[in-house]
Every structure is written in structure tokens, then in C-alpha cells.
A and B are shown apart, each in its own frame.
Chain A
């Protein structure tokens, strides 16, 4: 089968999965989970098939398009239902479908007792379908469609436990910020389309150099708008406030959407649009700067966060910052390689966090957890593997990918070298917050739940509660189910975590400088015409960067060890010495408050003004009131002729006849 046929199959299976589960959930029952996993598994198999088929093609012929249907081919618009199968899209499809399969299997156990079990898998399949549509899209139109679908799926999944107000508020927040990104994406598309006249990717990339001047205003504006879309989806500053709140969703959702797939859509967008960004370096520089700012801001916030999942969320934001920085400056394969390895270890970290939270009976606060090392050895091992990969220690995959990016930045020199140095600072902080998390949760005196677990009894609170607000809630539909599942006891959780741990360890072999450049070579057809991708740092500087990165990661871990294990009172002493800084960081740099004051309040004020003044006053009173008043007055006047007296009517008739006759008489003379 041709690669494009496989491409359509990649899209078909999740769509079938969501359709079957949506319509047949009553009969499926518990089989919904397995069906969903099978659907994504088949999609992954199709992606592998597409990979093999693509590799079978000659080097210059690896960008294949296929169109099923033309929506509109008139008036300068070429809107087609078409996919683009090339190394970049297959790479993304493999990552997305592969990690999704593992997370589906994990969810089968994690959400077993939840009343919304089938709904979850329908939503999850729908999400995977949308994400695959996004990465396989061959033109701007389908990209926007996939983009919007992914936003909708994210909303559905974040507010999955819909009877919790915190969850629904978080879902709305995520959706609104995503829509802002959608607007940016659509406007950016329009700015570019206006000059290129085509919506198709390959054609656009072909003509961009001829149609736009280098760094031309329209192209820069269009790319900046595309960046707005990318930032909203990938939670970069200042459109990042939705990501920590999105942790209200179930842990598999956080693992899939907010670690491995949806948030990487922005990275994919920039990589896909690289011809545009290379032709408008101003926009690319903005992207790199924002990525760098994000990685630093997120890392600083993660150091003081108390909620376990939020630490990992800010870590995601920080790592995506690395990726955005990478693909904005030209380190395409490095950035995408980091995307892949990040998917592995971040999903692993989230899964392990889910296990710990289950052991705590739903509690997510680091203040209450400690000493789970002996009670949950497997989870501890997964956490350590993920943490080491995240911090960038050899020989884990994160080490090779993160330092690949920083090495490229340093090589490019000038402003980018500054960004690279800041990347190292971020790496230091990454080590600190990651191991802070691990030391606090697993080391020290075991907390009551850990002690219970060591005795073989899983802690089980009598009734559920909202970990964010602490209020009591029941376990009926719309709330989490009554049972909690940990990795040590459920094979369906253990297996995916083990797979991801394995990949986190050995995944780096794909791109070892000087030995092989598997990812770069695979992706080279996509980036063939890019002059930035052609810049290759020498092996020597690569290894130098890698060694520096490893040392910095190790330094971070050591600092964390000193503060949280060796001398346990250190953190509270530091807090007491820098209270203002601590508050500033704990309040997430006051971004929420800023956006509330700048955007939310004015919007609400405008709404209220429109309602009271415009709606009631002008339209209600003025427009409808005046017209109805006019009609009423006119009809009241005319009604006076209906007196009900017969003779009056006859008199009117006679007068009328007389008048008409008079008229005709006068006219005849």
C-alpha cells in the first residue's frame, strides 16, 4: 500500500473508535477501553506501515500528498480534504499514536471504577483523531480544522469530571485561550494566503520566496499571528495560564494532552512552517525569545509549587519552551527529537504521579506526601528514570535531546548563544525542581498512607474530595470513581510505564553526535530547502555541550539533595529569608491576576454595559420601543374611526362618494 493510503488509515482508526464507542457504549461496557486502545494501536501500526513505505521511496520523493475531496476550487481558493505524508508528519504521527496507545492501556486500569468510563475513551479517541488530523494535514484549512478539534477535545477532557466547578472553570479557561490562538492561526493563514493565493502547504512553501520580500511586513505579521496560535496551544508566556489549571483533568489526560501531544502542536506548527519563518527572521527571533522566557519563568515557578501534578505541568511548559526555542532558530531535528524524548519521560512522570496520587487517595499536595520509596518501589523507579531523563543526565534520552538544542544555539552564536546560556540556567533549575519533587514524595518519614501501603492496604478515604479546594464530593457520575489504582497492583498500568521507562532510557540512541544522526537523516527531506537546518555543529562542540549539560544536571540534583534531604529545614529557612520572592513565585508571577485585570474585567464590563445600556436602552427602548410605540400610536389613531355606529360608516361612505365624484367632475372640465 502506498504511504498516503496508510496515512488515511492512520486517521480512520481513531475516528472509527470514537464513533463506535459513542454510539454503542451501552453494549460495550468495559470493552470500550480495549476497543479504544485497539483503535489507536491499529493507527500506530498504520503509521509504522507508512514509515516503511516512505523509507522505501527515493530520497527526493518523500513528500506525498493525497486528496480525498475538494471542498472548493474557485475564486482563488483551493480547499481540499488533503493530507501530506512526509517524514515530519510520520514522525509526529508515530510519536502521537505510540504514546497514545500506551496511555489508553494505562487508562483502562486507572479509570476502571469511573462512571464515565466509555465517555472518557470516546473523548480520548476523538482527541487522538484530531491530533493526527492536525499533523497529517496537507493544507492550512485542514490544519485549522484539526487545531480547533484538538482544542475542543482538550476542553472536553479537562472538564471530564464535570460536576466539579474547578474542573469546568479550568476547561473554559483552556478553551478560551485556545480560541485566542485559533484566531491568531486563522488570521495568520489569511495574511499569508493573501499573497501566495494557495492554501496548500507544499505550494505555499514553493512560492513564499518569490511572493514575499525577505522579512517583509506581511509575512512577519502573518508569522507572528501563527506564533500566537502556537503559543496558545503550547502554553507559552503569556498564553500559558491554562496549563496548570488543566491538571484538573484525570491523570491520563494530563499525560497525553498536556505532556506529549497537544502542547507539542505549536512546535510542530513552527517546524512545518519553517520556510516562512526562515524568510521572516524577525518572527523567528520572537519565537525563540518567548520560548526562552517561558522556560525560565516556568522553571522558577516549578521550584515552589506544592501540587505534584502542577510541578510536572510547569516542567512541561519549560521543556516546550526549549523545543520552541529550538525550532525557531533552526534546530529542527533537535527540537523534534526533544519532542519525542520528552513525550516518553513526561508521560512516564505523569503516569507515575497518577499512581502516587491514587495511593494518597486523591490527595495531590506534596506537603502531605513523603516516604513512598519502600511502599511503591516500581513507581519510585519510574519516577527516578523519568526525573533523570528530564534533568538531562547520561545516558538517558533527555540528555541527548536537550543538549542537542542548546548545542545548536551555542553554535549559531551572537544573540542565540545568550539564549543557549539561559537554557543551561533552565537546565539547572530543571534538575532542582524535578528532584525536589522526587525527594519530597519518596524520601523521608513515610506518611500515614505510605505506612498503610507498606502493610499491604491501599488507603481509601470514605468519600471523595476535591484536591484543589478540599470540599467533599460524592463518587457518582461526573466525579472520580470510588476506587484508586496504583501501578504496583495493576498490570495495565505497569506495562505502559515500563515501556515508557525503557524508551526514556534507550531512546537517545537515535541521535548520538558522531555516531548516528537517525532523526536528522530521517527528517532531512522535509527540511531539504532550509539553510538553517544545514548548519551542523561539529561533533567536538556537540560533545562539549553534552558534558556541560550533564554536569549542570548533576549540579541541580545535588542542590536539591542538599536542600531537601541532607538538611531538611533548609527550604523553610530559605523561604523565611526571601518571603517576597517566594510569594511572587508561588503566585505564578501574578500572570493570572494580570490577565484578569487587563482582559477579563474589561470584557465583563463591556458585557454589562452592552446589556444594560445598549440592549435594554437603545435596542429595547429605542429601536423596538420606538417602532412599536409608533405603530401603537398610529393604530390607536386609526382605531377611532371604528365607532361601531352604522350611520357614521354610511356617512363616511357618502362623503367619500361625494369627494370622488367631485374629483372626476373637476377633472373632466
Chain B
């Protein structure tokens, strides 16, 4: 298949991820949608790497995976901490940064 198809799929997945972040109030699901977006980026990277024929894109995709793992770790830690404090696990109610 053409590389273009892969890129279109990546775009679609990215936009589905964006929709998810905007629509769901549960922070866990928001993080999942974040993962979707990162994966879409990974797909695009690997597709381009195939296009050019060197593996820079794949290396980059691996690093992205590492970063995603870290971010998930910390994010989930946050959610656990929030849950432990008996605050609502709902981004609409976690709005103290307002001002």
C-alpha cells in the first residue's frame, strides 16, 4: 500500500483521540485517549521511516514509547493520589487552577 494510506489512518486515529479528550470527563479515559494520539504519531513516524528507508523514524518512535510510558506512570500516580484524597475523579470538578 502506499505510504499515504498509513498517514491517513494516523490522522484519523489522532483525531479520534482528540475527540476522546474533549468529550470524556474521566481522567483515566483521557489518558487513554492521550495514548491514542501518541500511537498515531508513532504510526506516522514509522511510515515516514519506511518512506525514506532509514531507521531514524523508528528510533524516534521507540523514544516516544518510552516517554509515553513515563507519562502514563506519573499520570496514573496522580489519579491514584486524587482517589485516595477522596476527591471526585472527574476533570470537571478538579478545577482549582481556575483564576
Q: Which A residues are closer than 8 A to B by beta carbons? A: 639, 642-647, 650-651, 654
Taken together as a complex, chains A and B put the C-alpha atoms of A642 and B99 apart, in Å, by 5
B97 contacts A644, C-beta separation under 8 Å: yes
In the bound complex, what is the Cα–Cα distance between A84 and B25 (angstroms)? 92
Give the top 4 A-B pairs by smallest Cβ distance, nearest first. A644-B98, A644-B95, A646-B91, A644-B97
Chain B residues with a Cβ under 8 A of chain A: 18, 21-23, 25, 30, 91-92, 94-99
Q: How far is the CA of A283 from the CA of B98 in the complex (A)?
A: 77
Closest to A657 in B: B18
The listed residue (B21, B23, B25, B98) touching A643 by CB distance below 8 A is B98
B95 and A654: CB pair below 8 A? no
**Could you say which residues of chain A place their CB within 8 Å of the CB of B92?**
645, 647
- A643 touching B95 in the complex, CB below 8 Å, given contacts A651-B22, A654-B22: yes
**Residue of A at shortest CB range from B91?**
A646
Q: Give chain A nearest CB distance to B53 CB in angstroms.
A: 26
Residues of B near A639 (CB, < 8 A) are 99
In the complex, the chain A residue whose C-beta lies closest to that of B23 is A647
Return chain B residues, CB-CB under 8 Å to A644: 95-99
Q: Which residues of A contact B99 (CB under 8 A)?
A: 639, 642, 644
Look across to chain A and name the residue whose beta carbon is closest to the beta carbon of B19. A654
Q: Given the complex, which residues of B lie within 8 Å of A650, measured CB to CB?
A: 18, 21-22
**A644→B21 CA distance, assembly (Å):** 15
- Please indicate the chain A residues that have their CB under 8 angstroms from the CB of B21 in the complex: 647, 650
Given A644-B98, A646-B30, A654–B18 Cβ distance below 8 Å?
yes
Query: What separation, in Å, do the CA atoms of A639 and B97 have in the docked complex?
Result: 12
Alpha-carbon separation in the docked complex, A651 to B21 (Å): 9
Q: For the complex, give the distance between the alpha carbons of A89 and B61 in Å.
A: 96
> Is the pair A642, B25 in contact by a Cβ cutoff of 8 Å?
no
**Chain B residue at minimal CB-CB distance from A643:** B98
Q: How far is the CA of A161 from the CA of B99 in the complex (A)?
A: 61
Can you add 15 more A-B contacts, CB < 8 Å, to A644-B98, A647-B92, A650-B22? Answer: A642-B97, A642-B98, A642-B99, A644-B96, A646-B30, A646-B91, A646-B95, A647-B22, A647-B23, A647-B25, A650-B18, A650-B21, A651-B22, A654-B18, A654-B22
Q: Provide the residues of chain A in CB contact with B94, threshold 8 Å.
A: 646
Cα separation A4 to B21 with both chains bound (whole Å): 93
Q: Which residues of A contact B96 (CB under 8 A)?
A: 644
User: Complex formed: what's the CA distance from A643 to B92 in Å?
Assistant: 10
Provide the residues of chain A in CB contact with B30, threshold 8 Å.
646
Q: Can you list 16 A-B pairs with a CB-CB distance of less than 8 A?
A: A643-B95, A643-B98, A644-B95, A644-B97, A644-B98, A644-B99, A645-B91, A645-B92, A645-B95, A646-B91, A646-B94, A646-B95, A647-B21, A650-B21, A650-B22, A654-B18
Alpha-carbon distance between A646 and B98 when the two chains are bound, in angstroms: 10
